[in-house]
A and B are shown apart, each in its own frame.
Chain A
């Protein structure tokens, strides 16, 4: 099973309490971006193109913890930029663990092994290591040779110390399904708890504009990759989201599911689009015109099938429909029955 039972139970309790309270829109994962500075410049990334004085800005520990409290989501994903550059990241993580939130610290792992001593293993903390494929594919994607080997070494070191480790993988239209399957084998052989995969988003500011996936191509690619899954593969995400990527379920986007907080404030409307910023989480939820976003409603959303919009939709399906619940149970217990 890709997600520990205690984490599943926490999410289940949270979602059911929101539903019983009649809350129509609720956050599932806080995307906390404490800085935009990175030590890589990946071709498909549109997150780091800012002037130096903006890249040098950091959210404080207090701002991060207050944002998590204000949002209330049971899971906090910390992307960036490269979060391990932030000198106060260990304190931010400790504070979030004290709040009993499940944290995914997303890292390219370049600094990870060097900084492992600063983090205590915990069921609430997972290092989510950016891995876009086997050595050749990953080093090409991050535009630097040797990063794959550094990440593998860091993963081994973290696992040895008892940390939870997952991988996060973004796929573009040049992905080779057979190579991706071999990559899954390699990651499971390393001993990671699970893997997260998603198609890339067509960032207007990313250097590589020609390899973003269109929806039909996304379904075809993920069907070929996931069509006959191996027993050893574990995914740290909703099985219904994987169904969606394969074209087996249709979802509307849930842009409020993964709200984003960064040095500019609460980002409207989602992790990928920047249409403006709100000062508070409540202002974000109340002032964003949610009906303007999603496939068929906004050209910027046309080809998007990214996890931050559609994984909350999959979770909603699990808890909102009998067929969704039944299929989630089946795929969780028997992942190869896909």
Chain B
């Protein structure tokens, strides 16, 4: 598989955020899809037809030539089902929402920094009317 950062999925440690995978075989494609399924950010799936779909990959079904994945597009309420054989590349384009918030980081911050972060999260929640 070709990865713009020259890594295969098997070698991916940490977040794949920012990477682009161009699978060379079905197995490589299946690996890339698994990585995207486990990713807590948006991906961009580029099709062989030239179309691109950006959104959250929430499901996949691997069964030979009938394999497909399902995406919640970021700009649509309807889910989109894409067959594996239509896919050219998978890019991890959205921010990984499950990184950068480690407990250790939180605890190691100074009280003042934590307070600022708490206020920022609270302000965002207030803006949404949920606090």
A interface, CB within 8 angstroms of B: 37, 39, 41, 43, 46, 49-51, 53-54, 57, 82, 85, 110-111, 143-145, 204-205, 207-211, 264-265, 276-277
Contact = CB atoms under 8 A, between A and B. Distances in A.
Interface stretch (B5-13, B21-29, B44-52, B98-106): B98-106
A209 B74 CA distance: 29
B117 to A, nearest CB: 9
B17 interface: no
Given A51-B41, A51-B74, A111-B130, A207 B59 contact: no
A264 B60 CA distance: 12
Interface in B79-131: 94-95, 97-98, 101-104, 106, 118, 121-122, 125, 128, 130-131
B98 A277 contact: no
Contacts of B75: 53
Contact of A211 (B74, B98, B103, B118): B103
5 contacts: A39-B125, A39-B130, A43-B106, A51-B97, A210-B103
B40 interface: yes
A43 B103 contact: yes
A110 B131 contact: yes
Contacts of A111: 130-131
B69 to A, nearest CB: 10
Given A53-B72, A85-B130, 15 more contacts: A41-B101, A51-B42, A51-B74, A54-B56, A54-B58, A54-B72, A57-B77, A111-B131, A144-B121, A204-B98, A205-B40, A207-B101, A208-B103, A264-B58, A265-B59
B2 interface: no
Contacts of A208: 102-103
Contacts of A265: 59
Interface residues of B, number: 30
B61 interface: yes
Contacts of A46: 98
A143 B97 contact: no
Contacts of A204: 98
A210 B58 CA distance: 27
Contact of A57 (B72, B98, B101, B130): B72
Contacts of B40: 49-51, 205
Contacts of B95: 51
Nearest to A262: B58
Central interface residue in A43, A53, A210, by most chain B CB within 10 Å: A53
Closest 10 CB pairs of A and B: A208-B103, A205-B98, A49-B98, A49-B97, A49-B40, A39-B130, A39-B125, A207-B101, A277-B59, A264-B58
Contacts of A264: 58-59
Nearest to B77: A57
A227 B56 CA distance: 46
Contact of B58 (A37, A110, A143, A277): A277
